[in-house]
């Protein structure tokens, strides 16, 4: 059986929720492997709309095992709150359906506070974070001072771990003229949450290996997008984890040999939330129209997304860095009615043409897009479920994108409804 990794091939918000939901019906296990509750997925199932930030999308699809892997940073209060929200919508969440890695690092209140202070500062680089403590939590993980989920099960050793953590944070807070964190208060707060989260704890690496050996289909669900990867993204305007497909192995405890197919979710145009370079961004009426028609507002933040034409340079690059086998092209219907449509095929920088995005922050900010203009279409592509239902020029647009990024379209999404999907190749049957 094939195991599939789903990643965003742009800056996130590509429509992963619908595609993951569509694929999860075929999967036996759905795994979150990086990020935290800073990335939202909106799932439309019949008349119900579910907004998930931390929980795997498979939870809304019947008897699926959902797993939060060790690569995630977990806010225990956010987990409890989200379970409560979707339970109120009639979704059953219990330890038989949801398992959380025992070695997952926790997001604490001090992380959220530090994140907000940095983002609201009047000096320095503004990253555009969600202020949910994701970055500071990853910093503590790498700094080997994080509190992990398993630590809540051993109160006798928790004090020493908190002392090690606060030796760093209280020194930092003194430098920021903030009150120091009371260790006993932090400990009491964590132990109060422990009975609500520890029942979900498991040795996820072992659990997933057992599932793989018995032939289960595993779907690895990425958050954000490959261009927000801390190594391969538009640094420093990135998230604090690796978002490329290889992280599915590291962030779940399975070896890379368990990955059979990588599906890159790709929007038919380009959007970005927050700060950072965006070569094909539009500041005119076309950009506003894309945003309005595409309902481009963040699931988590509610912030309006920046909009621009499709950037084939960026997607071509993420096809390589994530080893993408096929893409799921989403929101094609948003382009209905445009007389002409542009696609960025190369960049110009200091008089030279580039077929890649340079790594330097200054260079990324200065590259100029070189566009190819394609004929648009007046007919509607919304709701199309086969190639013959698509306008001819829309088919040509899709085929040209395939050529430019060097990767085939495996699925084509023509509306938020999960049934409005044209299947070219089933990732679970490569």
Active-site annotation, residues: 13, 41
Chain Cα centroid distance, residue 342: 26
Report yes or no: 57 and 221 within 8 Å, Cβ to Cβ.
yes
Contacts of 365 (CB under 8 A, 6+ apart): 277
Alpha helices in 371-418 (DSSP H): 392-405
Q: Which helix (H) or strand (E) holds 344?
A: strand 340-349
DSSP 90: T
Separation CA 303–CA 204 (nearest Å): 34
The conformational region for residue 398 under phi > 0 = left, psi -120 to 50 = alpha, else beta, is: alpha
Q: Which residue do the tokens 């306008």 mark?
A: 391
The answer to whether the CB of 278 falls within 8 A of the CB of 270 is yes
Write out the two tokens for 414.
């023509």
CA distance 10 to 109: 30
């Amino acid at each position: 059986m094939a195991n599939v990794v789903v990643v965003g091939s742009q800056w996130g918000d590509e429509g992963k929720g619908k595609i993951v939901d569509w694929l999860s019906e075929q999967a036996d296990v759905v795994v979150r492997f990086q990020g935290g509750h800073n990335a939202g997925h909106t799932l439309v199932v019949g008349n119900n709309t579910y907004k998930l930030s931390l929980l795997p999308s498979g939870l809304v699809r019947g008897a699926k095992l959902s797993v939060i892997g060790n690569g995630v940073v977990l806010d225990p209060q956010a987990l409890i709150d989200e379970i409560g929200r979707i339970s109120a919508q009639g979704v059953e969440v219990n330890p038989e359906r949801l398992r959380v890695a025992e070695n997952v690092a926790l997001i604490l209140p001090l992380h959220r506070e530090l994140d907000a202070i940095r983002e609201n500062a009047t000096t320095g680089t503004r990253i555009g974070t969600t202020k949910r403590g994701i970055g500071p939590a990853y910093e503590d993980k790498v700094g080997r001072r994080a509190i992990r989920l398993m630590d809540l099960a051993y109160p006798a050793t928790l004090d020493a771990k908190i002392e090690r953590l606060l030796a760093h944070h209280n020194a930092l807070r003194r430098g920021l003229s903030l009150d120091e964190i009371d260790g006993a208060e932090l400990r009491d707060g964590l132990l109060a949450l422990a009975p609500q989260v520890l029942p979900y704890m498991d040795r996820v690496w072992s659990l997933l290996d057992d599932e793989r050996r018995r032939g289960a289909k595993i779907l690895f669900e990425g958050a954000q997008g490959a261009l927000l990867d801390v190594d391969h993204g538009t640094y420093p305007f990135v998230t604090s984890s690796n978002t490329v497909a290889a992280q599915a192995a590291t962030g779940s405890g399975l070896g890379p040999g368990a990955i059979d197919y990588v599906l890159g979710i790709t929007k038919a145009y380009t959007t970005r939330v927050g700060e950072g370079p965006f070569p094909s961004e539009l500041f005119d009426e076309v950009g506003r129209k894309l945003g309005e028609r595409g309902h481009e507002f963040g699931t988590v933040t509610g912030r309006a997304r920046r909009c621009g034409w499709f950037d084939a340079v960026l997607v071509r690059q993420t096809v390589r860095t994530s080893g993408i086998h096929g893409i799921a092209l989403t929101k094609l219907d948003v382009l209905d009615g445009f007389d002409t449509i542009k696609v960025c095929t190369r960049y110009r920088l200091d008089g030279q043409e580039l077929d890649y995005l340079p790594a330097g922050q200054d260079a990324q900010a200065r590259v100029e897009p070189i566009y190819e203009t394609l004929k648009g279409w007046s007919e509607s592509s919304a709701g199309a479920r086969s190639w013959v239902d698509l306008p001819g020029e829309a088919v040509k647009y899709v085929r040209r994108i395939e050529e430019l990024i060097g990767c085939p379209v495996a699925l084509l999404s023509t509306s938020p409804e999960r049934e409005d999907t044209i299947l070219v190749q089933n990732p679970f049957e490569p």
